[in-house]
Structure 1
Amino acid sequence: MDELTLVERLRSEIPEDIDVTGAERRWRDRALAGTGRRRRARRPLLLAGVVAAGCAGAVTVVAVTHRPVEPGMPPANVAAVLDQAADRAAADPVPRPDQFVHQDTVELRRVPNNGRWYKDRNQSWISVGGTAPGLFRLKNWIQPRPDEYVPLDGDSVIAPCGQRAPIDRPYLGDLPADPDALLRLLARQGDGARAERQWEAASDLIARPAPPGVRAALFRAIARIPGVRLRTDSVDAAGRHGVAVTRTRDGVREELIFDPASHRYLGRRDVITRSGDRLGARGSILFSSALMSTQIVDKVPKPRAGVAVDAC
């Protein structure tokens, strides 16, 4: 690991909503006053470690990362949040190949071209083994205007997966249950810098059903992506508050939200971070979701009339 990567990871231990500029300046002034010499090139690395430890209230960064957190209290850093989420996920039941995972999700989106919001409810029944048809059910909660494109209500049958790559399947049953192996796989997806590819792929996978071991490994893999930060408060599409693991790119902060007490994944939110950006005003929300429930079931409901068939 090079020094720039280490600095970025150390600084990611500091929650985004804590301003450490003053602490950095005071530390630097005391250090320079004590030595009478100019700061060496490697000083920022040492500074980042001291500030991270000071803000977290511990002597060393390693001790902070693995410090247990009392239920209902905000975790100290990204690693603490995702370690707890991974431990919680690893204890979930393992479905049989002949079963289905039912997920109920609420999403809030901007209507293209006019900025109006629409809300929908997505329900999915995903085949664990990938050999049986699944079902996707969409329900809009607003009446679209004539000039708006809003996906129509209805059912879609999800075809069996066949020979599709494991990462492209709705159920992530064949992905590696190892954080390092997952990071290598994520880096082979999409475009851009390595960390951007990993984050984008992980953000897509986090909402899909997966075996407990794979889900736990994904959470721990996300903690190792450079540039990932922590926000101590965020809100999902259902209005639930949680802590958020975030990464900012192209003027948008993408937030993965977790319940601070149960450590379950709640949903996602995308927030504009630059004033005057073409996407909207700073602080505006572009998208949010809420995973309301996940259940293991034995059957899929009968599709409604006019059903479409989608690829796996």
Structure 2
Amino acid sequence: MSTQQAPDEEHEITLLRSVLETPPPDNDSLARMRAKALRSMQAPPAPRYRGRVVLVAASVTVVAGLGITIAAQPTDGGAPSTALPASGGPARPGSPTPLVGADTPAREALITLAAHTSGLRPLAVRPGQFVYSHTRGQVVNGIPVGADGEAQVVSENETKAWFAADGLRTVRMELATDLNARPSTDEDARKLAANGKSLPKPHTQVYPNPNGNPKEQLPVDQPREPGVDHPTLSWVASLPTDPEQLLAVFRAAAGPSTKHDSDYLTFKTAAGFAARADALLTPAARAALYQAIALLPGIERVPGQVDLSGRAGVAIGRNAEGFRYEIILDPVTSRVIGTRMVATAGTVIAWSSTDQVVVDSVGATS
């Protein structure tokens, strides 16, 4: 005699069936399917990861503290590619329905978004074209103020960069920092005033810089060996699409630490890679990436989050020793739209979002 399943269990079965394309499970197989849903998807298996990949190619250069999030797009038979329009915010009549709800738990949200990546393809950059990246960031820095310790100052930064089609080599980059600097709180403003400290002034650096002024030059280390921190099209294509094997790549890249636990460092490494490599991910690689993150213990859904541009997203985070790192995913398209680092007391330490499009010349923005 069969037992009637509870509503939550029925919902879980529906999710499992959508991911695995299996017949309705019986009670004996349900437990096995739950475990399998976190490890396998519709994509066929890819070759196993074979250690360090050495390629003669330039890499995406990431300025410290800035996540690079690139808009991928559906293919349309070879037409020139542009970035997807920003999505998010409250649903409007006729707008696409979010794939996950506001209360969907972290792992279920990742599995669902991973199952809907077939329409996302890497940006197709033809020879002679460039990827223009416009990154906005917000950071909190401490300014020493004598006996008062530190005053926390919030400032913004903006990066404009053009990458060439040959492996996304950096051709030009403009970095503006300390924009709109302001005290984090009234108490921080008091500390600055009491100790005669002023707010930092905006500063701009460029690469390459023709006038030779070292203070205005932005050093861009290239070429670099491709990897998690410096992904290229070829390197990303070489990654395994088995979630457990891919997670092992991120664990190795995270390395040891005496400050944070291994799972937190692995999550931060994987989430940072997801932001940097968003435009380079094939559907199979994106699905495996989200599934790999779902395997990590301690991940949580962070409700009500948006990226720095105000786009509503699905935030998945993990805490460790007073900090939480978050990745923000578009609930309609499944792509990455931002990252955040937050002190668990509530202070946003770093926040970023980026939009990118394919352009025909350096200096063009559309």
Band of TM-score, shorter chain: 0.5 to 0.7
Quote the Cα distance in structure 1 between the aligned partners of 2:353 and 2:168. Answer: 28
Count of aligned pairs: 239
Amino acid at match of 2:273: L
**Aligned ranges for residues 196-215 of structure 1 at < 5 Å?**
196-209=264-277, 210-213=279-282, 214-215=285-286
More divergent stretch after superposition (121-130 vs 196-205): 121-130
Query: Which residue of the partner structure matches residue 241 of structure 1?
Result: 312
Partners of 1:101 and 1:297 within 8 A in 2: yes
Quote the Cα distance in structure 2 between the aligned partners of 1:88 and 1:150. Answer: 43
Quote the Cα distance in structure 2 between the aligned partners of 1:220 and 1:260. Answer: 16
1:27-71 deviation per Cα after TM superposition (whole angstroms, max 9, x unaligned) = xxxxxxxxxxxxxxxxxxxxxxxxxx97x8334745446669x81
Establish whether residue 153 from structure 1 lines up as the match of residue 204 from structure 2. yes
Task: Evaluate the alpha carbon distance shift between residue 131 and residue 270 of structure 1 in structure 2; reply closer, same or farther with a 3 A threshold.
Answer: closer
Partners of 2:343 and 2:349 within 8 A in 1: yes
1:61-93 deviation per Cα after TM superposition (whole angstroms, max 9, x unaligned) = 45446669x813516333443345443375224
Task: Evaluate the alpha carbon distance shift between residue 225 and residue 296 of structure 1 in structure 2; reply closer, same or farther with a 3 A threshold.
Answer: farther
Query: Which residue of the partner structure matches residue 229 of structure 1?
Result: 300
Per-residue deviation, 1:249 = 0.8
Query: Which residue of the partner structure matches residue 37 of structure 2?
Result: none
Partners of 1:171 and 1:208 within 8 A in 2: no
Q: 2:322 aligns with which of 242, 251, 274?
A: 251
RMSD: 3.5
1:97-139 deviation per Cα after TM superposition (whole angstroms, max 9, x unaligned) = 7443322221111132221211122222234433744322223
Partners of 1:84 and 1:263 within 8 A in 2: no
TM-score of the pair, normalised by structure 1? 0.63
Amino acid at match of 1:103: S
SS of 1:186's equivalent in the other structure is helix
Q: 1:195 aligns with which of 263, 267, 278?
A: 263
Amino acid at match of 1:191: P
Task: Evaluate the alpha carbon distance shift between residue 94 and residue 110 of structure 1 in structure 2; reply closer, same or farther with a 3 A threshold.
Answer: closer
Task: Evaluate the alpha carbon distance shift between residue 259 and residue 168 of structure 1 in structure 2; reply closer, same or farther with a 3 A threshold.
Answer: closer
Quote the Cα distance in structure 1 between the aligned partners of 2:233 and 2:221. Answer: 14
Establish whether residue 125 from structure 1 lines up as the match of residue 187 from structure 2. no
Task: Evaluate the alpha carbon distance shift between residue 251 and residue 230 of structure 1 in structure 2; reply closer, same or farther with a 3 A threshold.
Answer: same
Unaligned regions of 5+ residues in structure 1, if any? Answer: 1-52, 274-281, 303-312
Query: Which residue of the partner structure matches residue 183 of structure 1?
Result: 247
Unaligned regions of 5+ residues in structure 2, if any? Answer: 20-95, 144-150, 183-191, 209-218
More divergent stretch after superposition (76-85 vs 248-257): 76-85
SS of 2:313's equivalent in the other structure is strand
Quote the Cα distance in structure 1 between the aligned partners of 2:113 and 2:181. Answer: 37
Quote the Cα distance in structure 1 between the aligned partners of 2:11 and 2:169. Answer: 51
SS of 1:241's equivalent in the other structure is coil
Q: 1:166 aligns with which of 227, 230, 244?
A: 227
1:261-302 deviation per Cα after TM superposition (whole angstroms, max 9, x unaligned) = 3333221222222xxxxxxxx2222222122x2223343339
Establish whether residue 297 from structure 1 lines up as the match of residue 359 from structure 2. yes
TM-score of the pair, normalised by structure 2? 0.55
Task: Evaluate the alpha carbon distance shift between residue 285 and residue 162 of structure 1 in structure 2; reply closer, same or farther with a 3 A threshold.
Answer: closer
Quote the Cα distance in structure 2 between the aligned partners of 1:184 and 1:150. Answer: 43
SS of 1:225's equivalent in the other structure is coil
